[in-house]
A and B are shown apart, each in its own frame.
Chain A
Amino acid sequence: MRINPWSAVLLLGVPVAFLFIFFIVPFGTVAVASFRMPADGGWSAANYVKIATDGYYWGALYLTFKIALWVTLLVLVVGYPLAYTITYNVRSTLLRRIIYIVIVTPLFTSSIVRAFGWLVLLGRKGMVNDTLVALDFVDKPVQILFTEGGIVIGMAYIMLPFMVLTVASILQNINTSLLEAARDLGAHPIVAFLKVTFPLSLPGVIAGSLIVFTLSVSAYVTPSILSGGKKTVMSMLIYQQYAATLNFPFGATLAVALLVSTLLLIAGYLLVIERHAKG
């Protein structure tokens, strides 16, 4: 469509102005506030010094990234086969639709509801423990709830649809004739997968793991419900500062620290991948 320049400026300008006022400026406000002192409102980097020198915050940051990493790995291991199966092995359109509905419905449900489901399942008298005992894997119910493992299970549940949908998007677009050629030339199915399909699907794996990792790092609801207050991740510390302690500047510093360290880790990850791609 031909749009005259003035209308274009208006049609694009208003939304951009909206995002500037209610998105860029608020993020800027947080960044600025992180250099303020709560006591007298003066300028200082003391909040950053406090985080950098206190092992407690390093511990929370470490736990945040550790959980996010386990979630990403778990979701990849479970999600890739599912994405592969629905893309290549499910022929019936109706079945595919049903499978997609099963994958997307949890995504459309609040993380509260999903964490609540796991709260019931993972408890001492929950179904998971009952099953483990009945199958003789353990003698008596084990503590899963309020442990790191419990948080990882609950978060992996939340993140699985993102990985499946991202990987399936890439798998759909792979030219299957390449795979057929490999098979025709006598490649074993596993070899064909490892040499052809998997390398071509790597962009999906990379994009999916980035989405899952970023979302896991900033997840608040799931860890706070499934930790029972016994484990502390960064988002819970940020929440405390803003909602309980009401120390906005220090909360802002924690938020900036989380944001910057996440971006640094992602940049490092992408750098390593690029090196590998070249070498």
Chain B
Amino acid sequence: MRLSDSLGRASLSGISILALIFLAFPLLVVIGISFTTTEYLRFPPVGLTWKWYARFFHDTSFVESLFTSAKLALSATAGALLLGVPAGLVLARKRFPGRQAISALFLSPLVLPTIVLGVAILQYASTMGFARTFWALFVGHVVLVMPYVMRTTLASLSGFDIAQEEAAQDLGATPLQTFFLVTLPQIKPGVIAGALFAFIISWIDVEVAVFNSTPELITIPVKMFNYIQFNVDPIIAAVSAITIYVAIVAVLLIDVTVGIEKATTRRE
């Protein structure tokens, strides 16, 4: 029994290590290729050069789409926070009929096909006359990222001692003061984690943005997607590598603020 126990454990560890290599390897390959001195994709890379990064930063259209993506991700995150946190507060503190249904509404963009959200925004914006504008991208992305803000906000609010808020209000604090001085400092880690998730979901989205882009108004993933259909060269590896660095920074930030395990799994 001891033997089979440790055998089982060893084979589990074996599968797990292979799975982790499977997860890390393609990203390492992309980063590796971005440093190759060859004109074609090559892994392992030959030599070491920064020229593909330099070419990327000299191509204004790539840099512009990097800015478009950053602007979109920041504003969509801000929009989702401004709408999601107050709504989460009411949903967590008030009891009223239809509360469950409204919570489900806020989370539902998570389970519906993103590509359908993309075409829905395009079709709706065409009818309303704002198709392929920054506003179309913005509203689409607020809807897309809202569930992530909502989920962490509701989770932090439910594990919160309501008596503290009541004490503050009994002592004469206004609801606004109570929120900013008592509630927000305590739910802050959850809100920050939600905001980082929201930022990254917008930052990497293709399915919504691809339908609402123009050659001038284009996010970095869509730009890469269009580029990759016609050219495959190490520039695309350099751009990809940059987005991987952003992802690593975001993951580390989440780990520092709330802990990566806590932010990504649910403990009861």
Contact = CB atoms under 8 A, between A and B. Distances in A.
Interface of A: 1-4, 7-8, 11-12, 14-16, 18-19, 22-23, 25-27, 29-30, 33, 78-79, 81-82, 84-86, 89, 96-97, 99-106, 108-114, 116-121, 127, 157, 160-161, 164-165, 168-169, 172-173, 188-190, 211, 214, 217-218, 220-221, 225, 235, 238-239, 242-243, 248, 251-252, 255, 258-259, 262
Contact of A262 (B27, B113, B206, B207): B113
Contact of A12 (B26, B102, B243): B102
A76 B204 CA distance: 25
Given A109-B244, A110-B243, 8 more contacts: A30-B116, A108-B250, A110-B204, A111-B204, A117-B27, A242-B119, A243-B210, A262-B113
Interface in B20-77: 20, 22-27, 29-30, 33, 41, 43
28 contacts: A1-B165, A1-B166, A2-B175, A15-B106, A18-B142, A30-B120, A89-B13, A100-B264, A103-B23, A105-B247, A106-B24, A108-B248, A109-B243, A112-B206, A112-B221, A113-B243, A117-B25, A120-B33, A121-B25, A157-B23, A189-B5, A218-B207, A235-B113, A243-B210, A255-B116, A255-B120, A259-B112, A259-B113
Contacts of A169: 265-267
Nearest to A96: B261
A239 B94 contact: no
A243 B211 contact: yes
B94 A3 contact: yes
A275 to B, nearest CB: 23
Contacts of A111: 204, 206, 221
B207 A221 contact: yes
Chain B interface size band reads 35 or more
A116 B15 CA distance: 25
A98 B117 CA distance: 34
B124 A29 contact: yes
Contact of A29 (B16, B22, B127): B127
Contact of B29 (A12, A14, A127): A127
Contacts of A258: 113, 116
A251 B211 CA distance: 12
Interface string B71-97: 000000000000110110111011000
Q: Which 6 A-B pairs have the closest CB atoms?
A: A218-B113, A117-B26, A108-B247, A26-B120, A26-B124, A110-B204
Given A89-B12, A120-B29, A190-B4, A33 B240 contact: no
Given A8-B90, A15-B86, A172 B121 contact: no
Nearest to B170: A2
B127 A172 contact: no
Contacts of B90: 3, 8, 11-12
A33 B264 CA distance: 38
Interface of B: 1, 4-5, 8-9, 12-13, 15-16, 18-20, 22-27, 29-30, 33, 41, 43, 83-84, 86-87, 89-91, 93-94, 102, 105-106, 109, 111-117, 119-124, 126-127, 139-140, 142-143, 146, 162, 165-166, 169, 175, 178-179, 183, 200, 203-207, 210-211, 220-221, 224-225, 228, 232, 236-237, 240, 243-244, 246-248, 250-252, 254-255, 259-261, 264-268
A30 B13 contact: no
A102 B25 CA distance: 10
A26 to B, nearest CB: 4
Nearest to B267: A172
B265 A220 contact: no
A47 B266 CA distance: 43
A104 to B, nearest CB: 5
Contacts of B266: 169, 172-173
A67 to B, nearest CB: 14
A251 B139 contact: no
A239 B12 contact: no
Contact of B225 (A15, A29, A97, A112): A112
B29 to A, nearest CB: 5
A101 B224 CA distance: 25
B16 A11 contact: no
B239 to A, nearest CB: 8
Contacts of B205: 110
Contacts of A217: 113
A124 to B, nearest CB: 13
B123 A160 contact: no
B89 to A, nearest CB: 7
Contacts of A112: 206, 221, 224-225, 228, 240
Contacts of A18: 83, 139, 142
Nearest to B79: A18
B41 A16 contact: no
